């Protein structure tokens, strides 16, 4: 398994003070930015111009999570805008292999996300095309939801498939990750952890990043 990384989501941060909020998580490995379009998910957040500005305002690499319809059209632009990693949802992508290649061609890490009810097995042969697989542990759309334990077997199966194919693909979990749930995810084989409300509801977000990392590494 790869090195443990924590990528706080700014969804539940003060969106009127994005640069300041990102400055509170200096020891994070990435900043997770949730892009929602009110079509793929019933919520609307921010888009390309904001991501572009944010990428310029922080030294932390950006981990863009696109919860949008038609990622085939938009995802490469997020790579071009300076995101180090770009995640699209397979449920929304028309041509996931082509899309992953286009993201990589723009110099970013290509990542594919699965909603809780989307199985991993049909995508086994795509793993080599991906730098990261995101297994959602809540229904995408909102921060602060309860972690879905029913996703744990899929994390385990994804890790087994990665081992079987000998790929270096990172395995990310997103949704309800906290000090209560992170160990279960790590034990199942995840190595990249998104945490939104757990980090930004903490009095000291940066310290929470360190605590989450320590739990996942234990």
CB neighbours of 123 closer than 8 A, spacing ≥ 6?
A: 90, 96, 112, 114
Can you read off the two tokens belonging to residue 11? 């969804």
Alpha carbons 11 and 26: distance in angstroms, whole number: 17
**Sites of contact with ligand DX5 (CB under 6 A):** 9, 11-12, 32, 34, 65, 138, 140-145, 174-177, 194-198
Q: Maximum Cα–Cα distance for the chain, whole Å?
A: 45
The residue among 140 and 189 lying less far from ligand DX5, judged by its C-beta, is 140
Phi and psi at 24, nearest 5°, equal: -85, -5
Is 65 one of the annotated binding-site residues? yes
Is 143 one of the annotated binding-site residues? yes
Q: Which of 29, 34, 37, 191 is catalytic?
A: 34
List 114, 174, 182, 193, residue binding Zn ion (CB under 5 A)? 174
Residue 138 interacts with which of ligand DX5, Zn ion, none, CB < 5 to 8 Å by class: ligand DX5
Is 34 one of the annotated binding-site residues? yes
Q: Which residues of 13-44 are buried (b: 16+ CB within 10 A; e: fewer)?
A: beeeebeebbebbeebbbbbbbbbbeebbeee
Helix (H, G, I), strand (E, B), or coil: what is residue 88?
Answer: strand
What is the footprint of Zn ion within residues 22-51 (CB under 5 A)? 34
Q: Which of 29, 37, 63, 174 is catalytic?
A: 174
The residue among 146 and 164 lying less far from Zn ion, judged by its C-beta, is 146
Binding site for substrate: which residues? 9, 65, 141-144, 174-176, 196-197
Binding site for a divalent metal cation: which residues? 32, 34, 65, 174
């Amino acid at each position: 398994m790869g090195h443990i990384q924590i990528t706080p989501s700014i969804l539940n941060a003060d969106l009127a003070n994005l640069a300041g909020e990102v400055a509170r998580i200096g020891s994070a490995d990435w900043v997770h930015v949730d892009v929602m379009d009110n079509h793929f998910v019933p919520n609307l957040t921010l888009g390309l111009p904001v991501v572009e500005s944010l990428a310029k305002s922080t030294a932390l690499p950006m981990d863009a999570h696109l919860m949008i319809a038609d990622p085939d059209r938009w995802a490469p632009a997020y790579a071009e805008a300076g995101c180090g990693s770009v995640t699209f949802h397979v449920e929304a992508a028309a041509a996931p292999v082509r899309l992953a290649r286009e993201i990589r061609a723009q110099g970013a890490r290509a990542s594919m996300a699965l909603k809780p009810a989307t199985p991993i097995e049909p995508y086994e042969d795509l793993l080599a095309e991906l730098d990261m697989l995101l297994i959602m542990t809540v229904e995408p759309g909102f921060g602060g939801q309860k972690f879905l334990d029913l996703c744990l077997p899929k994390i385990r199966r994804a890790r087994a498939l990665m081992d079987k194919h000998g790929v270096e693909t990172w395995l990310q979990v997103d949704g309800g990750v906290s000090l209560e749930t992170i160990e279960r995810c790590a034990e199942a084989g995840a190595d990249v952890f998104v945490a939104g409300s757990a980090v930004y509801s903490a009095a000291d977000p940066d310290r929470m990043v360190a605590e989450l990392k320590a739990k996942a590494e234990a």
